[in-house]
Amino acid sequence: MTITTLNIQGMTCTGCVNSVKRAVGSLPGILQTQVSLERSQVTIEYNPAQVSPEKLKIAIMDAGYDVKD
């Protein structure tokens, strides 16, 4: 399993946190997702054989948020 943390731009409320959790959680191979509104970050534990970091970023961007490098 792999753990990655992504910085997210555009989250302003608990609803945003839930949207990011749903977007990432809908992908295959996701084991755990922790979203921090205060730090504007999401930490994801996932199986790299099933999902790539790029797909994680795309899911977040498709939900309407920007991923900062």
Residue type, 52: S
With 90 as the cut, is the pLDDT of residue 69 above it?
A: no
Domains of the chain: total: 1
Give me the domain span that covers residue 12: 2-68
pTM for the model stands at 0.90
Residue 44 in 3-state DSSP? strand
Max intra-chain CA distance, the chain: 32
The tens digit of pLDDT for each residue in 43-56 reads 999 999 999 999 99
**Region 34-50 average pLDDT:** 97
Distance CA 36, CA 32 (A): 13
CATH code for the domain in which residue 9 is found? 3.30.70.100
